[in-house]
C-alpha cells in the first residue's frame, strides 16, 4: 500500500471543483482536434505514458554564487527528499522516479529501496560528484578529477563513480551520469590534449565497471565551474567521448549548457541520427546555465526539441529511448511547485509536438514551402493542450490543478513544523 503524502480526499475535493469545466474543455478540444484528423484519446494516452525523473537535489532550495536563502521545511536528508518527490508524483502522475546524487544522498541502499517502495517511487540515473570534495576524501578535486594530472586523484574519482554504479545496482538504477568540474581558468593552465586523454582513460575505467544493461551518460557544459575551458565543453566533444567509449555510452543534453542562441534542437537531431542521444537535463536559460524552470523562458525552443523527439519516435528509430530528467535550481519558488510546473511544461511540449501534422510537414519541406512548413509547427505549438494534460492527470488519480491542490493540502506548512531549518543542508548550488 502506497503511503500518500497528500490525503486522497484533498485531491478529490479540489478535483471536484474543476471537474465539470475540464470535461467540457476536453470535449471541445477533442472536437477541434478531430476536425484536424487527430484522436484526442490517443494523444492523452501517450501523454499519460510520458514520464520525467525528478532530481533529489531539486527539492531543496538552490542558490547562486551570491547566496542561498533556505526555504521553509526544507528536506533534511534523502528520506525527506523522497517524501517531497512523492508529493510531486502524486499530484502530477508524471514523475515516478528520482535521480540520486552521490555522496549527497548516500545511505544504506536497503533503506532507500524500502522508503521508495513505501512511496511508490523508483530510481532513475545515478549522479556522481567529483566536482567538490567530500569531507574525508584523500585527494582534492580543486584541480580536476577524472582528468587530474595526478594518477592517484584520477583513481579516486574513478573509484567514486564505480561506487555510484554499485549503489545504483542495489536500488534498481540502470544509468550513470558522470558529473565533473574539470577544466581550466587560464590560457596555458592545461594542455588540452593531454587533459582530454587522461579524462578518456578514466572514463574507460568506469565504463569497464558498467553492467551490460546500463547506460553511461556524459554531459557537455561550455563553462562553469571552470571559466576558460571545460574538458567536455560542447556536443562535439561529448559525441567523441560516447563514440570512443562504446555502445553503452551516450550524450546527455542539458538545455542550459550551451552558448546563447545555439540551435539545441539541431544538436538533438544530430545525436539521434548517430544513435548517441542518451537523454536530457531539462531546465531553461536566459543567459547561461541559469537552471530556471523548464519552459519558463523559451517554451518554443522546448517544443522544437520535442518536435525532434516525436519525429524520431514516429520514424521508429531503433534503440531510441532517451532518459528524461529535470535539472534545475529553485531560488525564489517553493521547489515542489517549480518541479510540478516543470513536469507539466515538459509534458505540454510533448503533447504539442504530437499534434504536428508530420505528413504535411514532410510535403512542405520537400516542396520547399518554407511558410507552410513553419506554419505547420506553429499550428501545433499554438494549440492549448492543457485539457489533455489535466485529463491525463485526472485519469491517473492526480490533480486537475496540481499547484492549487498542493497549496490547499497545507503540505509545506506541515513539513515546516516537522523539519527544523538546518544551516548546512544539501540544497545544492549546482
Residues that bind Mn ion (CB under 5 A): 254, 281, 327
Q: Which three cell numbers stand for residue 327?
A: 535539472
Report the residue number, 89 or 258, with the smaller CB distance to Mn ion.
258
Report the residue number, 93 or 281, with the smaller CB distance to Mn ion.
281
Report the residue number, 254 or 391, with the smaller CB distance to Mn ion.
254
Report the residue number, 338 or 383, with the smaller CB distance to Mn ion.
338
Give dist(CA 222, CA 288) in Å, integer: 9
User: Could you tell me the smallest distance in angstroms from the CB atom of residue 290 to Mn ion?
Assistant: 12
What region, left, alpha or beta, does residue 400 occupy, with left being phi > 0 and alpha being psi -120 to 50 degrees?
Answer: alpha
User: Could you tell me the smallest distance in angstroms from the CB atom of residue 36 to Mn ion?
Assistant: 36
Q: Which three cell numbers stand for residue 314?
A: 514516429
Burial (0-12, 13-18, 19+ Cβ within 10 Å), 366: exposed
**What are residue 183's DSSP bridge partners?**
230
User: Could you tell me the smallest distance in angstroms from the CB atom of residue 130 to Mn ion?
Assistant: 15
Q: Closest residue (Cβ) to Mn ion?
A: 281
Helix axes 78-92, 335-354, angle to 10 degrees: 40
Report the residue number, 91 or 100, with the smaller CB distance to Mn ion.
100
User: Could you tell me the smallest distance in angstroms from the CB atom of residue 238 to Mn ion?
Assistant: 12
User: Could you tell me the smallest distance in angstroms from the CB atom of residue 229 to Mn ion?
Assistant: 19
- State how far the alpha carbon of 250 is from the alpha carbons of 207, 246, 289, in Å: 11, 9, 21
User: Could you tell me the smallest distance in angstroms from the CB atom of residue 30 to Mn ion?
Assistant: 37
Report the residue number, 105 or 327, with the smaller CB distance to Mn ion.
327
Q: Which three cell numbers stand for residue 422?
A: 538546518
Give dist(CA 404, CA 423) in Å, integer: 30
Give dist(CA 234, CA 94) in Å, integer: 30
Amino acid at each position: 500500500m502506497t503511503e500518500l503524502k497528500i490525503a486522497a480526499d484533498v485531491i478529490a475535493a479540489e478535483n471536484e471543483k474543476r471537474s465539470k469545466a475540464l470535461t467540457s474543455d476536453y470535449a471541445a478540444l477533442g472536437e477541434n482536434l478531430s476536425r484536424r484528423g487527430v484522436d484526442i484519446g490517443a494523444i492523452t494516452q501517450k501523454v499519460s505514458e510520458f514520464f520525467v525523473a525528478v532530481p533529489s537535489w531539486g527539492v531543496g532550495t538552490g542558490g547562486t554564487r551570491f547566496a542561498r536563502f533556505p526555504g521553509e521545511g526544507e528536506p533534511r536528508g534523502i528520506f525527506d527528499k523522497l517524501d517531497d518527490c512523492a508529493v510531486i508524483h502524486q499530484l502530477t502522475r508524471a514523475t515516478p522516479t528520482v535521480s540520486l546524487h552521490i555522496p549527497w544522498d548516500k545511505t544504506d541502499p536497503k533503506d532507500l529501496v524500502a522508503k521508495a517502495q513505501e512511496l511508490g517511487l523508483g530510481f532513475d540515473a545515478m549522479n556522481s560528484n567529483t566536482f567538490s570534495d567530500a569531507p574525508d576524501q584523500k585527494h582534492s578535486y580543486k584541480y580536476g578529477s577524472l582528468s587530474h594530472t595526478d594518477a592517484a586523484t584520477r583513481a579516486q574519482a574513478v573509484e567514486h563513480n564505480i561506487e555510484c554504479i554499485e549503489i545504483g545496482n542495489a536500488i534498481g538504477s540502470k544509468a550513470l551520469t558522470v558529473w565533473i568540474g574539470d577544466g581550466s581558468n587560464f590560457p596555458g593552465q592545461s594542455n588540452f590534449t593531454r587533459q582530454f586523454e587522461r579524462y578518456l582513460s578514466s572514463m574507460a575505467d568506469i565504463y569497464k565497471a558498467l553492467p551490460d544493461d546500463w547506460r553511461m551518460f556524459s554531459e557537455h557544459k561550455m563553462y562553469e565551474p571552470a571559466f576558460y575551458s571545460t574538458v567536455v565543453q560542447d556536443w562535439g566533444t561529448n559525441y567523441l567521448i560516447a563514440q570512443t567509449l562504446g555502445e553503452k555510452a551516450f550524450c546527455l543534453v542539458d538545455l542550459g549548457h550551451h552558448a546563447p542562441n545555439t540551435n539545441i534542437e539541431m544538436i538533438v537531431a544530430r545525436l539521434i541520427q548517430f544513435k548517441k542521444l542518451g537523454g536530457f537535463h531539462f531546465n531553461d536559460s536566459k543567459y547561461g546555465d541559469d537552471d530556471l524552470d523548464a519552459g519558463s523562458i523559451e517554451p518554443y525552443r522546448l517544443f522544437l526539441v520535442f518536435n525532434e523527439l516525436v519525429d524520431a519516435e514516429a520514424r521508429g528509430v531503433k534503440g531510441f529511448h532517451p532518459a528524461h530528467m529535470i535539472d534545475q535550481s529553485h531560488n525564489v519558488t517553493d521547489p515542489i511547485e517549480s518541479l510540478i510546473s516543470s513536469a507539466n511544461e515538459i509534458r505540454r511540449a510533448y503533447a504539442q509536438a504530437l499534434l504536428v501534422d508530420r505528413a504535411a510537414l514532410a510535403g512542405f519541406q520537400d516542396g520547399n514551402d518554407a511558410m507552410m512548413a513553419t506554419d505547420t509547427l506553429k499550428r501545433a505549438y499554438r494549440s492549448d493542450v492543457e485539457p489533455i494534460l489535466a485529463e491525463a492527470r485526472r485519469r491517473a488519480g492526480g490533480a486537475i490543478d496540481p499547484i492549487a491542490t498542493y497549496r490547499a493540502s497545507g503540505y509545506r506548512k506541515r513539513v515546516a513544523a516537522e523539519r527544523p531549518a538546518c544551516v548546512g543542508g544539501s540544497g545544492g548550488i549546482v
